[in-house]
A and B are shown apart, each in its own frame.
With several copies, the nearest count.
Chain A
């Protein structure tokens, strides 16, 4: 089976309190040198059939209409290699 990954991140101009909370905590835990943190979602989709262009187009549509809310989020779709 083939795996497609959809990454969904808040648009850069949208405040990301989860990422900020992580960023604020890191130095307290002794991890310095990290200028910015953004937190998003990662979806791993296992396809039944082959990952051809048609399949990818459908997944892109699912991401556009469903997995991401494009009012606030951007997404990328990619085939996971080496799995």
Chain B
């Protein structure tokens, strides 16, 4: 049986088709999920894609967080279903409190699109087991509100529990606390990050690297073995 990975489309999602392509290239079956539909259609895992859901109006992710599909995803995530939030998806995850903290406007106040180097800090999550701790990867980054922040206690907790999954290397592109690029929940099934691994899955397009593919193969392995 093939593994089914759902990719949610909110109004204004942009990288949903890219996420579907990445899922397919990793060998799983991408399933399109619609924001108004509570039903997850028997998917084994969910990707919340990048983009500007609801135009990022109010705050990035603030409006989509209340969509019907999110109610089910929040429920399932608490029960252990792997959920990956990329960029806007990460913002949705913090807004829905599946992940702690919040995202602020980049400290330079501009949208930034660049090839970003990251260090893998945690290779035990559902989405990172195909990486090695300490491994450096490069994936595209593109956002306006990517500066991760949280209160000092939360940061301490994240650091102490090894829940910072990725850190920016060489350049901190937005002023994120502790160079944090991505984090996980305590159970390790929910991961959010600002850079876009789904844009680094083919040698031809984007930055011409495939450093992002292990995200999608990781979850596949985890689901097959569980």
Contact present between A and B (CB < 8 A): yes
Residue positions of A touching B, CB distance < 8 A: 10, 14-15, 17-18, 21-22, 25, 28-29, 39, 66-67, 69, 71-72
Known A-B contacts A28-B66, A69-B95; the reply to A21 vs B149 at CB < 8 A is no
Q: Mark B78-113, 1 if CB is under 8 A from A, else 0.
A: 000000000000000011000011101111110000
**Count of inter-chain pairs, beta carbons less than 8 A:** 54
Q: Are the C-beta atoms of B109 and A72 separated by less than 8 Å?
A: no
Chain B residues near A39: list those with CB within 8 A: 57-58
Distance to closest chain B CB from A65 (angstroms): 9
Residue pair A21, B57 in contact (C-beta under 8 Å): yes
Given contacts A69-B102, A72-B102, contact A18 B62 (CB under 8 A): no
Cα A29 to Cα B62 in complex, Å, equals 12
Q: CA separation between A46 and B153, bound complex, in Å?
A: 29
With contact pairs A69-B62, A71-B101 given, residues A17 and B175 touching in the complex (Cβ less than 8 Å): yes
Query: Is A72 within 8 A of B57, CB to CB?
Result: no
Q: Are B149 and A72 in contact (CB under 8 A)?
A: yes
* Contact present for B66 and A18 (CB under 8 Å): no
How far is B145's CA from A17's CA once the two chains are assembled, in angstroms? 12
Using CB atoms and an 8 Å cutoff, list the residues of chain B in contact with chain A. 54-55, 57-59, 62-63, 66, 94-95, 100-102, 104-109, 149-151, 175
Q: What chain B residues lie within 8 Å of A22 (beta carbons)? A: 57-58, 63
Contact B59 A17 (CB under 8 A): no
List the 7 closest A-B pairs by CB distance, nearest first: A21-B57, A18-B57, A71-B102, A72-B102, A17-B107, A25-B63, A21-B54
5 A-B pairs (CB sep. < 8 Å) = A10-B104, A17-B108, A18-B57, A69-B95, A72-B149
Q: Is the CB of B175 within 8 A of A18?
A: no
Q: Which residues of A contact B55 (CB under 8 A)?
A: 17-18, 21
Sample of 17 further A-B pairs with CB below 8 A, known A21-B54, A39-B58: A14-B104, A17-B57, A17-B107, A17-B108, A18-B58, A18-B109, A21-B58, A21-B63, A22-B58, A25-B58, A25-B66, A28-B66, A29-B66, A66-B58, A66-B62, A67-B58, A71-B101
- The interface residues of chain B lying within 8 Å CB-to-CB of A14 are 104, 149
- What distance in Å separates the Cβ of A71 from its nearest Cβ neighbour in chain B? 4
How far does the alpha carbon of A25 sit from the alpha carbon of B175 in the complex, in Å? 20
B-side contacts of A15, CB under 8 Å? 104, 107, 175
Q: What's the Cα separation between A67 and B59 when bound, in Å?
A: 9
Residues of B within 8 A of A28 (CB): 66
CA distance A28 to B65 in the complex (A): 12
User: In this complex, what residue of A is CB-closest to B154?
Assistant: A71
Most interface-central of B54, B58, B95 (chain A CB within 10 A): B58
- The smallest beta-carbon distance between A11 and chain B, in angstroms, is 9
